[in-house]
Structure formats: C-alpha cells, structure tokens
Chains A and B, each alone.
Chain A
Amino acid sequence: MNKGKNLKIILGMSLIVLAIVYLIFSSMQTATAAYYMTVEEALNGNIEPDKYYRVEGKINLDEVNYDTTKTPVELKFQIYEEKDPSKKITVIYNDIKPDNFEEAISAVVQGKFDSKGILRADSLNLKCPSKYEQKNSTQDEGVVTKFLRSLGLKR
C-alpha cells in the first residue's frame, strides 16, 4: 500500500469530519436555545428579556380568550404550577388555537417574556391524556397477574 496516498485520504477525510463537527457546533451557537423554566421560577423574576424560554404548566381554562377579530388572531391564556395554582403567568400566542386545547393536561409554551411579564409564545405544544395510553392509574389485574404478583414476579 502506498502510505503517502493513504495519508492524503485520511487527511482529506479528517478535514470533512472536522467541517461537519464545526458545522454542528457553530449551528449550536447560533440556534435559538429554549431554556426550560417552571412557572414558579418565571415568577421569581429570573427572566432575562432576550432569552428564549420553554415553560410548562397547566392551562387555567377559566381565563382563556381566543380573539379571532384581531389581526393576527390572539390566544390569551394562563398557565399555572400544578402544585400551587395561585402561581400563574399569562401567555399570548398569535396563532390558531390547537385542537384538544381544553383537554390538555398541560401546555409546553416557548417564547420570550415582554416587559409586563407576559410570555409571548411562538410555539405551543399540548400534552394530551388521550394520546395513546390513557392516564388511568387504577391497575387492574387478571388472574395471572395476581398470581404472578403473589409470587413476587410482578410488582
């Protein structure tokens, strides 16, 4: 084998690998990173105005306002901390209200906070109980399961 040629190939391939790695890391620098935050943390005032956040909370269904006369349309609602419903933040989302909004167990909202502490969302995802498995905590058993449990094979 020609060592010199092999070296050339290895060098060329290494350059390509480096270029790909560089591309990944430089894109990571410029990408909009969404910082996870709880509703409580947001209320404690740790918000930086330029940062992009991702907040998850339960939707307060009593205070939902979907105004379709505005341009663009405006969906205004509140999300709150599950443990402490008094801690809530207001979210404004200028897009159509997703299906299942009323049934969602929680909303994952991404956006920036404005000066009034309102989260201006550009992305709204819902976690829905009815997707695939249902949140049915009653573990019901057949004869076999009971049998296995009695043997300690199933917890």
Chain B
Amino acid sequence: MAEAGYFSLVLALMLSLYGIIVFIIAARRDNPIFLASAKGASLGVAFFSSVATFILLYFLMTGDYSIKYVYEYTSNDLPLFYRFSAWWAGNAGSLLLWLFLLTWYTLIVAFSKKARNLTPYASAILLFNSAFFLFVLTFVTNPFEKVAGWFPGAVIPDGAGMNPLLQNPGMVFHPVTTYLGYVGFAVPFAYAMTALLTKTANDQWIKVTRHWTIVAWLFLTLGNLWGAQWAYTELGWGGYWGWDPVENASFIPWLTGSAFLHSVMIQERKNMLKTWNVVLITVTYVLTLFGTFLVRSGVLTSVHAFGDSALGKYFLIFTLIMLFFALDLIILRRDLLVQDGSFESFLSKESSFLINNLILVGLAVAVFFGTIYPLVSEAVRGVKVSVGASFFNPVVAPLGIALFLLMGICPLIAWRKASLKNLIDNFRWPLLTALLCAIFLFFFGVRKGYALVGYATATFTLSAIILEILRGTKIRHKLTDEGYPKSFLGLILRNRRRHGGYIIHIGVILMLLAIVGSHTANQDLIKTLKPGESVDIGNYHLTFNQLGEKSVGTSLDAVFADISVSDKAKGIDLGNVESQKVFYPTSDQPMTEIGLRSTLKEDLYIILSTWGQDGSATFKILINPLVSWLWIGGYVVILGAIFALWPGRGSQTGSKYLSTVNLPQPLEGGRER
C-alpha cells in the first residue's frame, strides 16, 4: 500500500506536467477540448495527491511503523488527535499537506466560472507549483519510505514518538493555517502573471482574486498568531515572539501581503500603482517560498527549524525560477502597467494608502535585512554577525506606531484632496481622546515613553474609527429616517468590505495594546522556594504549598507545584495555579508545562524549573500585562474578515467606483458614501 501511495504521487506528477502543457495549448489556441482535458488533469492531480495523503493518514492513524515517517513521528501511546497532526510534524508530511491544499486550490481555480480568459494560464502556473512539490515528494523526501532494515513480513511494534513540544493544540492549528495562507498567495500571484501573459491591462485579476487575497491574508494572520500562542504556552520561555528566523519567515510575507491588500484598492479605484501591485504580489508569493527555504535548509540557526536537509536547495532553485519568471514578465509587459491616474495632493486618502504601503514594505525590508544579516555580513565583511531584538524592536516600534496612526487617519481623510479645515474638523476628537488617555495613564503611573505613545496611538485610531462609523450612522439616520440602531446596522451591512476592514483594524488595535503592555510593563523573577514559603510579584502574593505527582492523560506522569495566589494589597484569595514538569515516555527529560492565570489585565505565568531533595522548588515567575488581548484581537480579526467576505448584497460595495481601462479618471471627486 505504501507503493500505492508513492505511485499516486508519481501519477500526480505526470498529470500535472501534462496539465501544464495542455492548459497552455488551450489558452493559446482557445481550444475547448484541450481546456476540458487540462481541467481533467488538474482534477486528476488533486485526486491522486489526495489519495497519497489519505494513505499516509491511514498509516499514521493505524500505526504502521514500517513506514519511516510513521515510525519517526508517532508511537502507540500517542492520542489519535496528534496521530492526525503528525501529518505535518515532519518534512515529507508537511510538504504533502502543502501539496494537498495547493491541488485543491488549483482545482477551484481551474473550474472557476469567473474570468475564464485568465483561468487556463493561472491554472498552469498553479500546476507548475504542484509539480514542484510533487517532484520534491517523489525524488527528495518520499513520505512512504520504509524504515531501515525493513523486510516484507517484518512487524515493528512501536514508533519513536512525536516530539513532546508538538503535542499541543497550538501545533495542530498553527501549521495548517500558515500553509493555507502561504498557498493562498499563490493564487493572486498566478492571476497577476496571467494578466501580464494575456496582456490584460485592467484590474480584472485583482477583482477575481480579492477574496483569495483576504482569505490567504486571514490564514497567514492566524498562522502567525497561533504560532505565537504555541510559543507562549508551550515553549515556556515567557514570551510569544522572539524574532527567530522561522517567525520572521512567516511575518515578512504577512507584511507585504498586508501592503498588497491595501494597495489593490488604489488600483481598483484610481487605476494607479499597477506595477507596484504586481511587484507586491510577486514579492509576497516569492517570500512564502523563500521562508520555507530558510526554515528547511538550515542556512540560518533557528530554535525551532526543521533539521538540515537537501530540501532547502530545491526550494531555493524553485524560488529563483519563479522570481525570474515574474520579473522577466513584468519587464516585458511594462507598457501594460503604465498608470492612468495621479496623486493630486499629499493630504489625501490615496497618499495615506501609499504611505501605508511604504511603511509596510519598509517593515518587511527591515525584518528581512535583520533576518539574513548573518549571511550579508559574512558576504560583505567576512565576519558572521547576527542581530536580535536590539535591532528589530527599535525599527519596528516607530514604524508600527506610524502605521497605526495612519490606520486612524485614513478613514477620516478625503479622497483626492483634503483641506486643512477638513483635517482639523475630523481629527479634533480623536486627538483629544488620545491626549486624555495619555494624561490619565501618566497619572496612574505609566511613565515609559513607548507605553504612553503606544496607548495614545491605539486610542486615537480606535476613536477615529468609531467616529467614522458614528458619522456614517448619523448621516444614514438623517437620510432614511430609520432609528439609530437600524441606521448603524444598515450602514455596516451595506458596505461590508469597508466595515469588515474597520473591524479587522479594531482587532489589530487590540493586539497593539497587548504588544505595548507586554513589552513595557512586564516583570519577572526567579526564586527557589521551600514548601510554605511566599514571594511577591506585581500585585500578587504567591505561596508555594507543595510538590506532588500525578498522571496526565493516559500515559504521562507529571510533577506539579501547587501555588496559592492572592492579592497582595487586599489579601483576597485568587485561587491556585499549578505549574508542571511532564515526563513523556519517549523522552528522558521532562517538559515544562507552565502554570498560567490569565485575566484581561495580565497573565501570571509560572515556570517550574527544578526541585530539590528537601521539597523546595525553583520557579521563574512572570507578569505579562494585557497578553489576552493579543488572542482576543485575533478573533476580532477573524470576525472582520468573515464579515468582509460574506457574500450577497453589500459585499461588493467599493467596486462601483471602479474605473475601467478606457476611463482613466473617476468622474466624481470627494468622499463617497
């Protein structure tokens, strides 16, 4: 059966190559028979890739340890849930997941009824991606390889087991969402390239891929967020972001993807920034591949990378092929990308979008530069030097603040040209609230510059968005004579794309609060306590009661420390927190399972480090303010994205102002309602 899995991959590879050629012929000759055949091929690719996937899953679930992959990542005592997630625990399996998602995305594109003039080439480009993954899976890391020394009839009773760090719900969702994001950006890229290939100069490719882009962006956001959550709860070092190359690898395409998401609106509306948009989606797509190269090749030292493997080389080659293909095409078709519109004023919504893009891309460049700095310095100066948070934080913080300010300014500033009066009228209230917030916080003891600026920025932006919605409601109320609640609902439902965007912005602002709070007001201490001893941190009074032993789940043993938490000032009992070290059967060393008491105000985060013969135990205790808002903000972002994507009346608003190729300028000016 393992052979059946492998041959499914080989078949899928052959079908994908066939599909690419036939799609291209179909597009060139406009031949429906070829097109039908090519579509069939893409169906076949998806089918055989799925068959291979299901066979691997079957092996993982049933525990056939004669398969090397199954042997290496699962064992008899592994819960079914994690047997399933073993699908993406290693190199071969995770590439199979990528392929699985990619082939289904390709299928949706190939059979899409929209923009039929673009689908053949777009499908061919996507199939080319599939072909690359299939090539790697068949020739470099075969997921169906047998274990060493296996001979027919041999039964291997148990596997080596999954790394305990991966046995966490965060590691179940984080990779899937990240891949869904990565793969998703291949679709707008494919359409952008197709638009160039077919000399389609208008913004059709952007309209067709708008939903793809939002979905890909949403998943990449979630992938990053759940990765951070996994790091926070499972790695047990007290933080959620460490500027590790692996984290940066998925953050950089997120930044350029976010820039793309915004700049396409300018093309839709003003027919401008055409080259920029094509370049942005190319860069985003290439970065998803390059990130994978960084993670799988071992060129950069990372804490949680896949082991060194030959895979990186192939990813680098493929990345370069795609990059040169895209750049070549962009240069070849540069005539198509001449923009029609122009900027009329520095003080306008257009230019605020442009600045937004400059900052997002600037952030991406900074993070990219910092990440590959060891390679750069080695090449340029001959010494290998790396930079960490001391480089990233001072760059990202001011740019981030500027970005958030812009997020508040943009909704309130007029298209084309804003007057100074318009600015003063619009920004009076948000500025005032921000100032009040800063003063208020200052009197309550917040003295750090970055904290004050960060909170004030969040307040400014949040109140600007609220003000914008309130004003819309008021105008609608006047126009329709509906009650305020109904006007409000009508307003946001009628233009879901825009208000979905606002909801996403509110979610991101909540995340900003968490980032500012957890970086400016965090505390930590390390202390060895005897049973009954107490320690104070922040507003907490902690008493270490005792150590105990217990079993977790079905097969795990844990040593735990029982700690009573009470309010330092008032002495109110706040319950108990348990911090553990869990012993996994497949590993000699116990793994930290943090004790967490999470409130909206702050997290009390306790790591049990070690214990002594006398029953004493050593703890690292951290106070991480506002971290819960990071996760809450994430859910608000999901909500906003779903809101924006919800089909039906109201979902398309914004596009009615679309200018066509022949209509270089929007006919009307001013703000639209």
Contacts and interface: CB of A to CB of B under 8 A. Distances in A.
B387 A145 contact: no
B210 interface: no
Contacts of A30: 390, 394
Contact of A20 (B89, B358, B385, B620): B358
B369 A33 contact: no
Interface string B553-585: 000000000000000000000000000000000
A35 B378 CA distance: 10
B591 interface: yes
Nearest to A102: B589
Contacts of A126: 303
Interface residues of A, number: 64
A140 B589 contact: no
Nearest to B89: A132
Contact of B149 (A32, A71, A140): A140
A54 interface: yes
B387 A73 contact: no
Nearest to A20: B362
Given A9-B351, A73-B526, A20 B359 contact: yes
Contacts of A5: 342-345
Given A2-B342, A144-B3, A33 B144 contact: no
A84 B385 CA distance: 24
A138 B383 CA distance: 35
A3 to B, nearest CB: 9
B243 to A, nearest CB: 11
Contacts of B591: 99-100
B89 A96 contact: no
A140 B72 CA distance: 13
Contact of A31 (B147, B307, B391, B587): B391
Nearest to A1: B342
A87 to B, nearest CB: 19
Given A31-B390, A32-B387, A131-B304, A101 B365 contact: no
Given A24-B366, A103-B588, A142-B144, A32 B307 contact: no
B553 to A, nearest CB: 18
Interface string B585-611: 001111110000000000000010110
B142 A144 contact: yes
A83 interface: no
A13 B355 contact: yes
Interface string A6-18: 1011001100110
A33 B383 CA distance: 11
Given A132-B91, A140-B145, A142-B146, A95 B72 contact: no
Do most interface residues of chain A lie in helix, strand or loop, or is the interface mixed?
mixed
Interface in B267-314: 301, 303-307, 309
Contacts of A138: 148-149
A6 B610 contact: no
Interface in B350-407: 351, 354-355, 358-359, 362, 365-366, 369, 373-374, 383-388, 390-391, 394-395, 398-399
A133 B303 contact: no
Given A9-B346, A23-B399, A133 B91 contact: yes
B142 A33 contact: no
B236 interface: yes
A133 to B, nearest CB: 4
A9 B341 CA distance: 13
Contacts of A102: 588-589
B68 interface: yes
A34 interface: yes
A93 B160 CA distance: 32
A127 B306 CA distance: 11
Nearest to B395: A27
A13 B276 CA distance: 14
B226 interface: no
B239 to A, nearest CB: 12
B443 interface: no
Interface of A: 1-2, 5-6, 8-9, 12-13, 16-17, 20-21, 23-24, 27-28, 30-36, 54, 56, 66, 68-69, 71-73, 95-103, 108, 110, 123, 125-127, 130-136, 138-145, 148, 153-154
Interface of B: 2-3, 6-7, 68, 72, 89-91, 139, 142, 144-150, 160, 163, 165, 236-237, 301, 303-307, 309, 342-346, 351, 354-355, 358-359, 362, 365-366, 369, 373-374, 383-388, 390-391, 394-395, 398-399, 526-528, 587-592, 607, 609-610, 612, 618, 620
Given A32-B388, A125-B301, A136-B72, 11 more contacts: A28-B369, A28-B373, A34-B387, A36-B385, A73-B609, A96-B620, A103-B589, A131-B165, A133-B91, A133-B309, A144-B144
